[in-house]
Amino acid sequence: MTADTRTASVERRRSRIVERVRTYGAVTISELALDLGVSDMTIRRDADALAHTGEVVRLHGALRGPDSAISSTFEYTQRTTRSAEQKARIGAAAARDIDPHDTLVIDAGTTALQVAVSLPESFVGTIITHSIPVIGFAEQRPLVKAIVLGGEVYRPSRALVGSAGTTEAAGLRAATFFLGAAAVDARGVYASVDVERGLKEALMDISDRVVLVVDSSKLAASAPVRLCGWDRIDVIVTDDDPGAELLETLHRNAVECLIAAPQP
C-alpha cells in the first residue's frame, strides 16, 4: 500500500466515524471498531486526530458530536461503558451453547448487545431484533440472517419500539429470546419505561426459551414497569450471586441461574 493509498484509507475511515457520531450523537470506541473492522487502538488514534480538529469530542471509551448536549443517546453510550467487563462475561456465557443454526431474538440494551458480540463465527442462523446496535453488528456477519422489527426510534435504548414491531413479531418464532431489563427482584422483571413493555412481551410469547441477561447492578436497582414474573423466565445469566431471597424464588420457578464469574 502506497503512502497516498494509506492516507486515503485513513481519511475515509475518519469520515465514516464522523458520520456515525453525527447520526447517533454518541458512539463507543468498541462499536466503531466492530463496525469498521479495525482495532480499538486504531479508533482511538482516529479519535485523537478528530478531537484535535474539533470534529468530535473525546470521552472515556466513546465519542460524541462537538455541539451535542448530554442527551439520551449519550446516556446509552455511558451505559455501554458501565460494568463493561461484567456485561462482556455475561454475553459470552449466554452465547456459549447456542446452536449455529438457531433463530435468536436479541433485545435492546447494552448487556443484550454483548450476546450478539459473543456469537461464535460458526453461527449462521437468524437474529430477530429491534436494537440498532445489534442491527449494525449483524451487518458485519454476511452469513447471519437478520430480521429487523420496525417502529419508532426510542433513543434512550437505541431501539425501534411501538405497535408495528409488536405486530411483526407475532408472525415469527424463535428458539431463544435474550431479554434485557432495568431491574429484577423476587417479584419479577422490570423495564424503565412502558414504551418497551409491549414488544418485550410479544418477543417472550414467540420464543421457546427466555434467557434474562442482567449485570448484578440490576439486582439492586429499581424500575417502575413490571414486565413479567419469574414463571416467564427459563434462565438468568448474571455476574454475581443474586442472594438468598432471589435464589429461592428462582428455584421455586425452576429458573436456571448461571453466574458468569471472572476467570481466576
Q: H or E element: which one contains 16? A: helix 3-24
Q: What is the pLDDT of residue 72?
A: 47
CA dihedral 129, 135, 139, 141 (to 10 degrees): -50
**Mean pLDDT taken over the chain:** 88
Q: H or E element: which one contains 88? A: helix 84-95
CB-CB contact of 156 with 135 (8 Å):
no
- 3 state SS of 74: helix
Q: In degrees, to the nearest 5, what angle opens at C-alpha 79 toward C-alphas 135 and 67?
A: 85
Q: What is the pLDDT of residue 4?
A: 59
- C-alpha distances (whole Å) from 259 to each of 40, 98, 114, 230, 262 are 28, 17, 15, 17, 9
Which segments of the chain belong to CATH 3.40.50.1360?
Answer: 84-259
Q: For 235-252, how does the pLDDT look when each residue is reduced to its tens digit (9 = 90+)? A: 999 999 999 999 999 999
Q: Which of 70-84, 106-120, 177-191 has the lowest mean pLDDT?
A: 70-84
Q: In degrees, to the nearest 5, what angle opens at C-alpha 200 toward C-alphas 195 and 202?
A: 110
Q: What percent of the chain has pLDDT over 70?
A: 89
Q: For 131-149, how does the pLDDT look when each residue is reduced to its tens digit (9 = 90+)? A: 988 998 888 898 999 999 9
Amino acid identity of residue 225, one-letter, is V
- Tell me the average pLDDT across 33-43: 90
Q: What is the pLDDT of residue 69?
A: 41
Q: For 163-214, how does the pLDDT look when each residue is reduced to its tens digit (9 = 90+)? A: 889 999 999 999 999 999 999 999 999 998 888 899 999 999 999 999 999 9
Does the pLDDT value for residue 63 go beyond 70?
A: yes
DSSP codes of every residue in 96-135: TT--TT-EEEE-SSHHHHHHHHH--TT--SEEEE-BHHHH
CATH class, 3-74 region: mainly alpha
Which segments of the chain belong to CATH 1.10.10.10?
Answer: 3-74
Q: What is the pLDDT of residue 53?
A: 86
The more confidently predicted of residues 117 and 2 is 117
As a whole number of angstroms, the distance between CA 91 and CA 104 comes to 14
Amino acid identity of residue 204, one-letter, is M
Closest CA to 90 of 182, 219, 216, 184: 216
CB-CB contact of 31 with 136 (8 Å):
yes
* Topology of the domain covering 84-259: Rossmann fold (3.40.50)
Does the pLDDT value for residue 81 go beyond 90?
A: no
Q: Which of 8-22, 25-39, 231-245 has the lowest mean pLDDT?
A: 25-39
